[in-house]
Every structure is written in structure tokens, then in C-alpha cells.
């Protein structure tokens, strides 16, 4: 069923239509080590998003001509299940999936000590089970946990979140309705310990000040997700 644009995204008290404050994340659950045959894995729920991440490697590269003699390579595959969206998606990778795979790979490999594993590959597979806006950012958060679960040495976890503009105001972690009918979207990924940004994109129009505000708010969201990532890994090793 197609959703219509609401008259306003905020009620008279300044709260959003899903009950959140303007600077509040959707409810989040992260669980590591959910797939037995993967070297590392993660399941994340952020609002209505449900995403699985699986990591295999470091392992030998095939075909061998893709090897890098002094470092590992990362292959990142972002895929949406046909039933993950309300209008059934056509199977197979599209242009959007390829673009997200490319920028996500670059964002994630910035955190990995690739030179520890020359001539090898780290394969990251993302499967979107349910999509409700912000899947590229949520996938990166899950992929980072899966890499840590696989024991891959990293400078830090990568946490990813987006801020957007609704009703002229900057809001954290926009939901599906806000994404479809809002004014702008700014997804970022960062290594929270050093605040090094590994992904920064923008869709829509923002003033210079609004852009700065959106980035700062997205960084706040990343730090909150970072705590959830660490808690998920702690629970995994407690088990």
C-alpha cells in the first residue's frame, strides 16, 4: 500500500510521527555470531530494518589475478531480498546495490589492517530482509560487528548513521516516511574512537549550517550505535 505524505512530520509537541524526539534513534538490537558457517556474522534490527551480515576470510583469492601482493582486498556485496520492500523488488543486483556496495567497501576497509593479510580476500555479504530506510548505514554497522566477530584486526569498529531534514528541522535516523518525503538525507560512517569519518554522502539541499548540524547529529547517532556494537560483542564472548 502506497504511503502518502503527511501534512507535518512533527506534532504540536515537536515529537515525530513515530513518537521519537528529533534527536533520537529508532530502537536498535544487535546480535553477533548468528550464522554457524560464517567466520563472523551479525543480525541487526533498527526500527523496522532487519539485516544480516556475514563475513568469510581472510582467505585465498579466486581468481588469483585479483590478488594484491602487499594487502588483503575487501569484497562487499549488498543485496536486498525481493520481499524486503512493499513493492516486490526484482531479483539480482541493480545500480543502487552496486553503488552501495562500492562506497560501503571503501568505508569498511579504512578500519581494517589489510596489510596483515597479503594476497587474501575478506568477503562481506549483506542481506536486507526488511527495508525501512537507512539500510546502507545500518548494513555497515552490522558488517563491522561481523568483521570483529571473525577476529579480523581493526583500528576500530565502524558505526554508521544518517541525519535528515524534515519540516525544516534536522532529525536523527530518519524513518521510511521521512526518507520518502523529507527534504534531505546525510548518511555518514565513522570510527568513533578517533571520529575519523569513512563515509559521507548527501541527498537533498542543505545550507552550510544545516549540513554541519546534520553531520554532528549523525556522529552522535554513530556513538550511540558504537555502544550497542560493543555490547553485542561482549555478549557474544560471554556466551
Per-residue pLDDT of 23-47, as tens digits, reads 999 999 999 999 999 999 999 999 9
pLDDT greater than 80 at residue 88:
no
- Are 24 and 17 in contact by the 8 Å Cβ rule? The answer is no
Global pTM?
0.94
pLDDT greater than 70 at residue 208:
yes
Q: Summarize pLDDT for 185-201 with one digit per residue, the tens.
A: 999 999 999 999 999 99
Q: Which of 145-149, 180-184, 186-190 has the lowest mean pLDDT?
A: 180-184
Distance of CA 66 to the CA centre of its chain: 26
Annotated domain spans of the chain: 28-238
pLDDT greater than 60 at residue 169:
yes
CA distance 172 to 216: 10
CA distance 29 to 178: 21
Residue found under cell 601482493: 69
The CATH code of domain 28-238 reads: 3.30.230.70
Q: DSSP for 157-216, please give it.
A: --EEEEEEEETTEEEES--HHHHHHSSEEEEEEEETTTTEEEEE--EE---HHHHHHHHH
pLDDT greater than 80 at residue 91:
no
Amino acid at each position: 500500500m502506497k504511503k502518502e505524505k503527511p501534512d507535518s512530520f512533527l506534532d504540536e509537541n515537536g515529537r515525530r510521527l513515530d513518537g521519537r524526539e528529533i534527536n533520537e534513534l529508532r530502537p536498535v538490537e544487535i546480535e553477533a555470531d548468528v550464522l554457524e558457517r560464517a567466520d563472523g556474522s551479525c543480525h541487526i534490527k533498527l526500527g523496522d530494518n532487519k539485516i544480516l551480515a556475514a563475513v568469510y576470510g581472510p582467505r585465498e583469492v579466486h581468481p588469483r589475478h585479483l590478488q594484491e601482493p602487499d594487502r588483503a582486498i575487501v569484497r562487499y556485496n549488498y543485496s536486498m531480498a525481493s520481499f524486503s520492500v512493499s513493492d516486490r523488488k526484482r531479483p539480482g543486483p541493480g545500480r543502487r546495490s552496486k553503488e552501495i556496495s562500492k562506497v560501503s567497501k571503501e568505508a569498511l576497509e579504512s578500519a581494517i589492517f589489510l596489510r596483515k593479510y597479503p594476497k587474501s580476500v575478506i568477503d562481506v555479504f549483506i542481506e536486507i530482509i526488511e527495508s525501512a530506510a537507512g539500510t546502507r548505514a545500518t548494513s555497515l554497522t552490522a558488517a563491522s560487528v561481523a568483521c570483529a566477530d571473525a577476529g579480523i584486526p581493526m583500528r576500530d569498529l565502524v558505526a554508521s548513521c544518517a541525519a535528515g531534514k524534515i519540516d525544516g528541522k534536522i532529525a536523527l535516523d530518519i524513518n521510511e516516511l521521512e526518507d520518502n518525503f523529507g527534504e534531505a538525507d546525510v548518511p555518514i560512517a565513522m570510527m568513533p574512537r578517533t571520529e575519523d569519518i569513512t563515509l559521507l554522502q548527501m541527498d537533498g539541499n542543505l545550507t552550510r549550517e544545516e549540513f554541519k548540524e546534520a553531520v554532528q547529529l549523525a556522529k552522535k547517532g554513530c556513538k550511540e550505535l558504537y555502544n550497542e556494537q560493543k555490547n553485542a560483542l561482549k555478549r557474544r564472548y560471554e556466551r
